[in-house]
Amino acid sequence: MAMPVSGVPTQTPAAQAPTGSGHHALARIGRAVRSNRKATVGTVLLLIFILIALFPGVIAHDSPTQDAYAPQLGISTAHLLGTNHYGQDLFSQLVYGTRNVLIIAFVVGLATTGIAVLIGVAAAYLGGGWDGTLNVLTDVLLVIPLFPLLIIIAAYAHGGTTLVLIAAITLTSWSYTARQLRAQALTLRNRDFLAAARVRGERQLYIIMVEVIPTMTSLIVASFLTNALYAVLFASSLQFIGLGDPNTVSWGTTLYWAENNAALQTGEPLWAIAPGACIAVLGAAFALLNYAFDEIGNPALRPVRNPRSKRA
Amino acid sequence: MPELPLLEVTGLSVDYVLDQGSVRAVDDVSFTVDRGEFLGIVGESGCGKSTLLFAVAQLLSPPAVVAGGSVLFQGTNLVGLTDDQLSAVRWRDMSVVMQSAMNALNPVTSIGAQFKDAMRAHGKYSAEEITARSAEVLRMVGIDPVHLRSYPHQLSGGMRQRSMIAMALLFTPDLVIMDEPTSALDVVAQRSLMVQIKELQQTFGFAVIFVTHDMSLISHFSDRLMVMYAGQVDELGVTRQIFDKPLHPYTQGLLEAFPSIHGPRVPLKGIPGNPPSLASPPSGCRFHPRCPSAFDRCPAVTPDLYAVGGTLVRCLLHENGSPSR
Amino acid sequence: MTEPAENARHSPKAELLRTEHLTRHFKIGGALSRRTLHAVDDVNFAISEREIVALAGESGSGKSTIARVLARIYKPTSGEVYFEGKPLSGIRSRRDALRYSGLVPMVFQDPFASINPVFRIQHGVLRCLKLHRPELPAAQRPAEAARVFEVVGLDPSMLERFPYELSGGQRQRIGFAQALAMRPKLILADEPVSMLDVSIRIGLLNLMVKLRDEEGISILYITHDIASARYVADRLIVMYAGQIAETGPIEDVLTHPRHPYTQLLLSAVPDPRAPLSVAAETDRGEPPKVVDPAPGCRFRWRCPLAIDTCAQVTPELAELLPPAGGSGGGVPPGKHRHDVACHVAQTSAEEVKAFS
């Protein structure tokens, strides 16, 4: 029994803005993105990267792998970031590498979050023996140190392809998110609207898919963004230490080659710095979107503009 | 020789600053509380009474801000003071009892530990002094001091609320502000708690501001009563007088919305409609869309507070200080 | 209350639901100290058609547990519930379960938690229609949803809105609309107005009376507020610590409360028109959590009238002796009995007052 409520619609700041369906939702998301500065910046950055990944040929005119130029050229209009030790155009490398990075980010993000939703919510909702078993599975993977495990997996796959990278990162990342989602699903389990759904005769699976999961979209989206961010960082790190396929064009592999050739010491600093900067910017884009999503979903977190500054 | 009132709120307004503009949750509210007085503030949810309370206790957090007015407590204006300056007053002279003890009490520490925190925050005390005082306040509210070791979830609802009140009385403040402390309780525990509060008040002489949505609950306990609607004060006066002869149509409606245990069973109507959205309140008198006595000037003219006998009422029917129709 | 309605309620009515020795226990404690919480013990009552029965008591009295057993959220530990003569334990197929849940729906207490916030209002109502009115073609469901909304006093345009746009009172009406959409015979209303402001409650209480009078639906009204129970109900069941303390026609029980707990409950109701009663000041007790109880009356620690028997023998619910000098034994036909579970009340010829 708690606080009484009455005839006032809850349009107060504490009201949660739910997601609707279709046109209505898109319009609201659009408005939310435009009004929140973090969301705008993050979205714009992400869109730029996506465009680059989709149409690399439009932006960079050279092939990234062709060592057609003189090595170690400085910045010029022909080579926006110069060339590396092998005479490859650095700018093209980064532009073409974007696709690999984004694919890893989105696929890992979606796969990790998908598995985590299935296992986490099922564990919470089914309870009992299922919960116990799934928990053991989750906890074991949670406790294993992530990076060493990644190294071992990647090493065993003989420095495998991007697919191996994606699989390895997904395998080692889903358990953290699963725990979070299970915790949130547990708090929802005894909410009256779920009891109401049970009492009116809905089936278990329907309740999980239609009634429970949509109320968790906030956390699910945040998980996706976080996992995408960490995928970028982990993948680049693995590629950097040589566990990716050194012949794929990606930011991490560029860093790998830069390190191999002691780029910083031999006067080619851009070779090392530029890919690092790209990773940082993409990471920042995901992080900004994460903050922004929090603020959009929970109005209490929004920054308050001082009203006195508005008065004459 | 009139004594200075303990608390004097003048023209207090509170806004919620949102993206789409400000919403005025408390509009130009003024009232006083004398030493040892029990003031009841009554209104429906959303009328601004909780916001008002938070504003008086200087507990507002963004996006709520004080937009105007003053809160004079023992002569000092609390609005605009820093946290450091306020801490001298907080808990020693003025304390707050929240609505739901389960939300206000820390669930992972024992009651005794929370009392200790409260005492330490407001002065240097030895461990014996703390334990002694904690046991004393618990006894004051009728709880065995052995429960200092208990966690909130181990106590029943009524005991939790009483320990909140005990915590508020640690320094025997001059003013205790209570935000619907009984609404989470059953009817027997509710009555028991109210009686307890009144007894404590009479023993220790502190003033009480009690916010509730249930008028009948404080009918026997408050000295004066303030009825709020849509962020404004609609009626303010001596409790018994308001119950015997309610002046504002809203107050009359509220009083008629209680089914009674005694007397004949009659169908009741309640007050039709819903309280207005504070973002776009009705023009003129805010109650006119729901008022059975509304007439042509009501949507056009915003009524002031008019004095009728000892009662203040915001209604055009009493414009001349006496019923004008 | 109109004349025809009064008369209709006194003519014999078909019995809808009956519980027999209904008991529900919960196991609490860890693996090392298994104890049993007796939430509901040996409860027997019946609900007829076209009547509102109030089930009143404080938290821990077992009233919500009873509602959940009747809604088939819990199974009884022992005892049986009969609906239209058939036992609930006989429900096995999904079809039977669905049929029952359409005839006996539940309205929940918290208007903010009982509606899924991410969907529009129509979601719940349409699902109810889809599951429980198979004879209604899909194309006609929106119209039917609009119709039940009007019956409960809501504007059908609200179907398109989201829950956060509506007030608490409006949301509770939605709960009743959803129940109504399923063509129920008995609505289990679990404290439907407790979380609403007092001024809004009347609207919903009037709605319940309307549902009984105009739609012929019975309601089990669970509450801790006796005054609202008096306003809507025909009969009252008072529960304490998992057992029935007193039951009977509501006016009888409220004007002649025989169980000391009922008297305490009545004295605690705030009534601005009455002077402050002294008795409530002396009671500082709380309802017990009944864990592995010994026999005896569970109210005895708070009861000023307790005698030795009260600590040894659990009182059974039995019909009251008529008061001395009263109109003699027997109950007028069509009227329900006034029963009480109290050794003192059953053995004394006059009414004894424990709390006034």
**Distance, CA of B132 to CA of A60 (rounded, Å):** 78
Of A2, A7, A302, Cβ closest to residue B275:
A7
pTM of the model: 0.82
Chain C residues 40-69 with a CB less than 8 Å from chain B: 58-59
Which member of B23, B213, B279 has the closest CB to residue A4? B213
- Interface contact B184-A12, CB threshold 8 A: no
Among the residue ranges B115-129, B311-325, C225-239, C303-317, the one predicted with the least confidence is B311-325
Q: Which other chains touch chain B, taking contact as 3+ CB pairs less than 8 Å apart?
A: A, C
C-beta atoms of B186 and C231 within 8 A: no
Which of C71, C116, C197 lies nearest to residue A193, judging by beta carbons? Answer: C116
For residues C242-256, average pLDDT: 91
C137 touches chain B (CB under 8 A): no
pLDDT confidence tier of residue C331, bands split at 50, 70 and 90: low
**Residue indicated by tokens 């109030």:** C54
Q: Which long-range contacts (CB under 8 A, 24 or more apart) does A297-303 make?
A: A297/A16, A297/A17, A297/A218, A298/A16, A299/A13, A299/A14, A299/A15, A299/A17, A299/B18, A299/B63, A300/A13, A300/A14, A300/B63, A302/A36, A302/B19, A302/B63
Percentage of chain C with pLDDT > 70? 88
Residue C270: pLDDT band with limits 50, 70, 90: confident
Q: Which residue of C has its CA nearest to B214?
A: C198
Q: Hey, which residues 6-65 in chain C have their CB within 8 Å of chain A?
A: 59
The closest CB to that of C167, out of A8, A18, A211, belongs to: A8
How do residues A134-191 score in pLDDT, each as one tens digit?
Answer: 889 888 888 877 778 777 876 777 656 788 888 888 888 899 899 999 998 888 887 8
Name the band, by pLDDT with cuts 50, 70 and 90, for residue A301. Answer: low
- pLDDT of C148 above 80: yes
Q: Distance from C81 to chain A by nearest Cα, in Å?
A: 17
CA distance B186 to chain C (A): 6
Q: Contact at 8 Å (CB) between A6 and B275?
A: yes
Kindly report the nearest CA distance between residue A243 and chain B, in angstroms.
Answer: 46
Please give the backbone phi and psi of residue C190, each rounded to the nearest 5 degrees, phi first. Answer: -90, 95
Closest CB from C264, C272, C280 relative to B216: C272
C174-185 confidence digits (pLDDT tens): 999 999 999 999
The model's confidence at residue B2, banded by pLDDT at 50, 70 and 90, is low
pLDDT at C325 over 70: no
- Render pLDDT for B19-76 as a digit per residue (tens, 0 to 9): 778 899 999 999 999 999 999 999 888 888 889 999 998 888 888 889 889 999 988 8
Listed by number, the residues of chain A in 210-229 with a beta carbon closer than 8 Å to a beta carbon of chain C are: 211, 214-215, 217
Report the gap between the CA of A8 and the closest CA in chain B (Å).
6
Q: Is C116 on the interface with B (CB under 8 A)?
A: no
Residue C125 amino acid letter:
V
Give the nearest partner residue to A18 out of C162, C198, C200, using CB atoms.
Answer: C162
The residue whose two tokens read 């991410």 is C118
**From the CA of C296, how many Å to the nearest CA of chain A?**
30
- Residues C105, A8: C-beta atoms closer than 8 Å: no
**AA identity, residue C354:** A
Query: Higher pLDDT residue, B254 or C52?
Result: C52
Greater confidence (B238 vs A2) lies with: B238
**A235-276: pLDDT as tens digits:** 898 888 887 777 888 888 888 888 888 877 777 777 888 888
Mean pLDDT within C130-148: 93
Is residue C279 over pLDDT 60? no
| Residue A148 one-letter amino acid | P
Distance, in Å, from the CA atom of C196 to the CA atom of A6, rounded to the nearest integer, reads 5
Residue in chain C lying closest to A7 (CA)? C167
When CB atoms are compared, the residue of C101, C166, C199 closest to A200 is C101
Instruction: Name all chains with 3 or more CB-CB pairs below 8 Å to chain C.
Output: A, B
- For residue B14, what pLDDT is reported? 93
Q: Is the confidence at residue C97, as pLDDT, over 70?
A: yes
- C29, with CB counted inside 10 A (0-12, 13-18, 19+), is exposed
Q: d(Cα A309, Cα B14) in Å, to the nearest integer?
A: 16
What b/e sequence results for A281-292 when a residue is b if at least 16 CB atoms lie within 10 Å of its CB, and e otherwise?
A: ebbebbebbbbb
The mean per-residue pLDDT over the stretch B139-158 comes to: 86
Closest-CA distance of chain B to residue C239, Å: 13
Q: Is the pLDDT of residue A226 over 70?
A: yes
pLDDT, greater one: C176 or A95: C176
CB contact A206 to C (< 8 Å): no
Question: Best of C64, C119, C159 to disrupt the A interface by mutation (most A CBs within 10 Å)?
Answer: C119
Give pLDDT tens digits for B242-301: 988 999 999 998 888 888 887 788 888 888 888 888 888 888 899 999 999 888 888 998
The answer to whether residues A285 and A49 touch, using CB atoms and an 8 Å cutoff, is yes
Task: Supply the pLDDT for residue C6.
Answer: 52
Q: Do the Cβ atoms of B184 and A307 come within 8 Å?
A: no
Check pLDDT > 70 for residue A17: no
Mean pLDDT of the region A70-87 = 73
Please report how the helices B111-121 and B127-140 are oriented relative to each other, as an axis angle in degrees rounded to 10: 120
Decide the pairing of beta strands C186-190 and C218-223.
parallel
Tell whether A199 is within 8 A of chain C (Cβ). yes
CB-closest option in C108, C120, C167 to A192: C108
Residue whose C-alpha is closest to residue C124's, from A194, A25, A190, A26: A194
Mean pLDDT, chain A, integer: 78
Give the residue-averaged pLDDT of B79-93.
83
Q: What pLDDT is recorded for position C243?
A: 92
- DSSP conformation class of A211: I
Q: Which residues of chain B have a CB within 8 Å of the CB of A4?
A: 45, 180, 183, 213-214
Find the mean pLDDT for residues A210-219: 86
What percentage of chain C carries pLDDT values higher than 90? Answer: 50
Asked if C108 lies within 8 A of A3 by C-beta distance, the reply is no
What local confidence, expressed as pLDDT, does residue A10 receive?
A: 36
For residue C115, the distance in angstroms to the closest alpha carbon of chain A comes to 5
Long-range Cβ contact pairs of A41-48 (< 8 A, separation 24 or more)? A41/A285, A41/A288, A42/A284, A42/A285, A42/A286, A42/A287, A42/A288, A42/A289, A42/A292, A43/A289, A45/A281, A45/A282, A45/A284, A45/A285, A45/A288, A46/A282, A46/A285, A46/A286, A46/A289
- Chain A interface test: which of B24, B45, B103 (most A C-beta within 10 Å): B45
CA distance C137 to chain B (A): 35
Distance CA A245, CA A239 (A): 7
The span from the first CA to the last CA of chain C, in angstroms, equals 28
* A307 Cβ under 8 Å from any chain B Cβ: yes
C-beta separation of C48 from C15 below 8 A: yes
pLDDT of residue C133: 92
Question: Model confidence at C11, in pLDDT bands (50, 70, 90)?
Answer: low
Query: How high is the ipTM of this complex?
Result: 0.81
C92: number of Cβ within 10 Å: 8
Flag if B183 and A3 touch (Cβ within 8 Å).
yes
Rounded to whole angstroms, how far apart are CA atoms A42 and A283?
10
Alpha-carbon distance of B178 to B99, in angstroms, equals: 7
- List CB contacts (< 8 A) between C238 and chain B: none
Q: How far, in Å, CA of B165 to CA of B198, rounded? A: 12
What is the pLDDT averaged over residues C142-168?
A: 91
Contact C164 A2 (CB under 8 A): no
How far off is chain C from B187, nearest CA to CA, in Å?
6
Judge contact between B32 and B7, C-beta under 8 A: yes
Average pLDDT, chain B: 87
Distance between CA atoms of B251 and B229, rounded to whole angstroms? 10
A215 vs C contacts (CB less than 8 Å):
116-118
Q: Cα separation of B68 and C333, whole Å?
A: 68
Tell which wins on pLDDT, B183 or B82.
B82
| C333: confidence class by pLDDT, cuts 50, 70, 90 | low
Judged against a pLDDT cut of 90, whether residue C84 lies above it is answered with yes
Site of tokens 């053995």: C347
Has residue C297 got a pLDDT over 80? yes
